[in-house]
Homo-oligomer: A and B are copies of this chain.
């Protein structure tokens, strides 16, 4: 059997005091209580720390076997040892960073890596065997390129980035600091641009680039096309899930969330703090206002506009409440048609 590496069975143990110090909370219970794992409420055991995200989880917390809890109020701990913090989920994130720190990579270019001699690598950069850095590319300090990762000619990667296996940043594209590209993510593939020349679709050379700003994550096997001219842009702090497609010349604002399998057509503008849920489809030349939310599988047609803060569902997309109302109305349609026929009969016969 391979060693089972899970948070629950981590050999390293810690005390409630360690947790409180790391997340800045107040201890209720024995500070020296020793734990050795972190787990969800339903799977935690006596030696695990768990957390109560909010008051809706109170009943679940009561049933949990967790040895200690991160809570926003002592009352939610149901008498158990706890650490009280303003935001338990944020504290959890902080504690996990301490408890399971990212393993430092050994700096240097591994034997079997392909790094052009005109590439410039910052201090502490690690390039694994099987990774490629082409001519003129720059890799910022402490960034890590896993096996199969690719950085094309004159592309640049900021500091403290991770390119997971087979992630690719093509020629001349730029990635900011602290970005994570998950396995198979592609930045800088050609936009889908053709013009009919009378006998075939002639390719419009895609000579622009992609600019990914700081603190962006790009999910596994997602693809972001380079601009035809100019730049495709992903704003600072935006998080992109797996299998997302982002077309040429799209501009996404800061701190947006683009969930799995969503797609954004060419030249669309997505605001700040937007949420596109799973499988959302945004056509070409669409504008989405700041803070808008599109629920799963919603679709916006070409040149559509979504107001800031709107919450839309369905295809064609409607305000979410209207979407729900229509679904309910449709459930009444069959009976309504029967009632209509009955009225007609009454009048005819009446």
Contacts and interface: CB of A to CB of B under 8 A. Distances in A.
Interface of A: 2-8, 38-40, 43, 87, 89-90, 92-93, 96-97, 99-100, 102, 110, 112, 114, 128-130, 132, 136-138, 146-148, 150, 152, 154-156, 164-166, 168, 170-172, 174, 180, 182-184, 186, 189-190, 192, 194-195, 197, 200-205, 207-209, 215, 217, 219-223, 225, 229-231, 237, 239, 241-243, 245, 247, 255, 257, 259-261, 263, 265, 277-279, 281, 283, 295-297, 299, 301-302, 314-316, 325-327, 329-330, 332-334, 336-337, 339-340, 343-344, 346-347, 350
Contacts of A219: 189, 192, 223
Contacts of A183: 150, 168, 170, 186, 189, 223
B150 A204 contact: no
A333 to B, nearest CB: 5
B147 A129 contact: no
B201 A237 contact: yes
A242 B150 CA distance: 18
B189 A182 contact: yes
A7 B226 CA distance: 12
A202 B346 CA distance: 61
Given A245-B260, A347-B350, 13 more contacts: A2-B136, A5-B172, A7-B230, A164-B170, A189-B242, A243-B245, A263-B279, A265-B296, A296-B301, A297-B297, A297-B315, A332-B337, A336-B340
A222 B192 CA distance: 13
Contacts of A203: 93, 217
30 contacts: A7-B230, A89-B195, A92-B195, A93-B203, A97-B205, A100-B207, A112-B112, A114-B147, A132-B165, A147-B150, A152-B165, A166-B184, A186-B242, A192-B239, A200-B215, A200-B237, A201-B237, A201-B257, A221-B243, A242-B245, A243-B243, A243-B245, A263-B279, A279-B281, A316-B327, A330-B333, A336-B337, A339-B340, A340-B343, A343-B344
Number of copies: 3
